[in-house]
Amino acid sequence: MGDLAAAQAAVAEAFRSDWGRVVAYLIRVTGNWDLAEECTQAAFERALERWPRDGIPSSPAAWLKTTARNGALDRLRRATVGDAKLKELMMLQPSDEATDGDDSGIEDDRLRLMFTCCHPALPVEAQVALTLRTLAGLTTPEIARAFLVPHETMAKRLTRAKRKITEARIPYRVPAAHRLGERLRAVLAVIYALFNEGYGASAGAELIRKDLCAEAIRLGRLLAELMPDEPEALGLLSLMLLQDSRRAARVETTGELVTLEDQDRGLWDRAAIEDACTVLDRAVRLRRPGPYQLQAAIAACHAQALSAGETDWQEIAVLYNRLSEIVPTPVVLLNRAVAVAMADGPASGLVLVDELDRAGALAGYYLLPATRADLLRRLNRHGEAAKAYRRALELAPTDTERRFLRRRLAEASGQLHD
């Protein structure tokens, strides 16, 4: 059983580190995204079968590439089409990499592949979704949650993006250094989506996936070093560091969720906060404000308050107003409503939340009824709060969040019977 556990752990580690590289290798040589993903998936499944019996290979990545490549060869032979691709694939060795003519200046494999995937011929949303699926290995439901769309809608978007790449013969090639800027917006969105899936998992028992948060921050640091004059790259790094600095205080040792206002600020990582504020200062000095810098400034307001009561909600509301002018997304508008509620009273925030509820853009997003419930609770409208908590409970994605909402629902229901 020890060998089985060790082999399973090795496969899991290889998935985190090598999924994107294997998929990218097969995409480059076959030109077929679906084939690349399917053969990579099959290679990992075979690893789960073989490694416990045969032992963990000295180079898991090379083993996976060889297995995936052989699977692609078999499929192409059976298809009796794509002869040119078949010959190319047979000539290539699994160690071959797409480095010929690469003058991007990007040394990290995963970051280089992200810039490769984010091709400007595709809409930005399609670039981000395809990169998250192909390189980060996120599932279609996880990506759908990041975009607040149904699973089926996201599956169709991914299919259309792959079809366009094939039909338009879009090359899978690392862009030159002077072309990186036109892909930066999508790459930033990919890294932040990766972080958010780690910061608040879309499903399962655990709220936080530390490995995804750490990987997103690592990529953010590399990007900030690669493009030090891009203020939004700095803004994103600062934002992720500030949010991650609260990780130890977000969930109790018993696994219970702790809201921001109730967190033990002594558990916040002050070194990370100082680092983040230094990075944000560098971004601000470049005098090109953007949404990541504004979100980082909001997070900094929270981080610099010694207690919940000392939080400058008026400043946060002003920052959210600016942010909503640049990116008036439903989630930004919901966060703005919370800031207004804290600055001007829960009744003011509830008006804005009800407007969002009527608009319907956040239907199915559990934080909308959860926010509404909290504002109703603060207004002592416990019957309405209980109803909203029940709705949020139906939609909450993780066990941690569901337990928190059940506690709040019990409190609201108890108030009704007092």
Q: Is residue 59 part of a domain?
A: yes
Query: In whole numbers, what is the pLDDT of the chain averaged over residues?
Result: 89
The per-residue pLDDT for range 352-388, each reduced to its tens digit, is 999 999 999 999 999 999 999 999 999 999 999 999 9
* pLDDT in the model for residue 85: 54
More confident residue, 16 or 403: 403
* pLDDT in the model for residue 97: 47
* pLDDT in the model for residue 203: 58
The per-residue pLDDT for range 212-244, each reduced to its tens digit, is 899 899 999 999 999 999 999 999 999 999 999
Name 204's bridge partners: 398
Q: Is residue 363 part of a domain?
A: yes
Q: Is residue 103 part of a domain?
A: no
Boundary (domain end) residue, out of 37, 60, 94 = 94
* pLDDT in the model for residue 1: 45
Q: Is residue 240 part of a domain?
A: no
The per-residue pLDDT for range 104-118, each reduced to its tens digit, is 788 887 788 889 889
* pLDDT in the model for residue 77: 83
Boundary (domain end) residue, out of 43, 63, 94 = 94
Pick the range with the lowest mean pLDDT from 16-25, 266-275, 388-397: 16-25
* pLDDT in the model for residue 11: 92
Q: Is residue 219 part of a domain?
A: no
Q: Is residue 236 part of a domain?
A: no
| Domains of the chain: total | 2
* pLDDT in the model for residue 70: 92
Task: State the CATH number of the domain containing residue 352.
Answer: 1.25.40
Range of 372's domain?
337-418
The per-residue pLDDT for range 180-203, each reduced to its tens digit, is 999 999 999 999 999 998 887 655
Q: Is residue 215 part of a domain?
A: no
